[in-house]
Amino acid sequence: MKPLAITAGTVLSAIGHGLEATEQALLARRSGLTPCDFAGIRTGFIGRVPDVEKHGLEGVPTGFTCRNNQLADMACMGGGFVQAVQAARAFYGAGRIAVVLGTSTSGILSAEEAYRAVDPISGYPPEGFDQARTQDLFSLPRFLAARLGLEGPLLSVSNACASSSRAFVDARHWLEAGLCDAVVVGGADSLCQMTLRGFASLGLVSPEPTRPCDAGRSGISVGEGAGFALLEREGARPDATVMARWVGYGVSSDGHHMSSPDPQARGAVAAMREALERAGLGAHQIDYINLHGTGTSVNDAMEDHAVQAVFGPEVACSSTKGWTGHTLGASGIIEAMFAVVMMRAGFAPGCLHVTRLDPAFGSRVLTQTVHMPLRRVMSNAFGFGGTNCSLIFEAV
């Protein structure tokens, strides 16, 4: 495939706001996980972004205020991202920049709060509840387009935990079709009771900070966050600074089970091989793999099986969810921005909280930070229902 340029990017998670803060936390091996204290829930640990509730939205129509849009607004305000989009808008025109964003829960917390406040007599939610601008899955791209002054086509992608990775693919399709000249791609997912209680009911929440790839791993820690990247055709805007190149992708759907991955990893293998093929690369040309690595027994074992099948035991890999928790639909963009940070700074972060690597694993899982040149990074995202997406990024 013809590479696309990432000309601007920003990220927000429990470990910090912006690329610089993220780099510092990754290098310091400083986790953002804390004991769960959200909405009266006390199960496990979470990756909570501080002070989201205090963040006000400005310059957008009323009704958009919800935790998910607040996260998105906080993220886009970091690292000069708004200014970069403004420069692209001045060059291409507001109607030629699309917004393609992934989310799995959107502003469902607002609906949860509204449900608790339903009038017992009329059965109606509170008068101020704006479902279309908060809970609706289309709220996020509508909000961000209004926030950035963009008038191009909008798309919301909800592919479970692969949502914001898959958003890259749909953004590319629109660029190839000539519907736009640049795309703000990414996503956001926020803490809510549905995900915290839902994963707990499935027995997937770890009572301790998640330990991906550890022999004694016991589940996930749910997190939240947001991130965005500005995608453009290479060379289309001569004065644009290129942060990284997106050179390959693979997608698949194995449909093995509603919530459990295929133990044979057929979909994951297909996605990774397709990404390599589209990029025109051999397995040996990938320097590091950011694993989906949720910390559950079956997910990590499946992904190790898949990595062995495609890469053997040579390519370094690890999961960064010990820092942020599993940010669900936002994990793809957050970890894409992590890949940019790692390539620019030249390091691969080993998994956090590992006391004993699973002896059954055959892939080269890092448990300590390794400083080395990273030319190309693959980032995996595998979601409920068997949706799989692998992206390959290249340094400039």
Mind telling me the catalytic residues? 161, 292, 326
269, two tokens: 């293998």
Q: Are 377 and 292 in contact (CB under 8 A)?
A: no
Helix (H, G, I), strand (E, B) or coil at 314: coil
Q: Are 282 and 40 in contact (CB under 8 A)?
A: no
CA distances from 138 to 101, 145, 231, 266, 320 (A): 9, 11, 20, 31, 28
Q: Are 221 and 251 in contact (CB under 8 A)?
A: no
Any residues with CB less than 8 A from the CB of 140 and at least 6 apart, and which? 68, 69, 72, 101, 103, 106, 156, 187, 188
354, two tokens: 């590992």
What is the radius of gyration, based on Cα positions, of the chain? 20
Residue 142 CA to residue 2 CA, distance in Å, equals 29
Helix (H, G, I), strand (E, B) or coil at 67: helix
Residue 166 CA to residue 181 CA, distance in Å, equals 19
DSSP assignment of 159-182 equals: -GGGHHHHHHHHHHHHHHHTS-SE
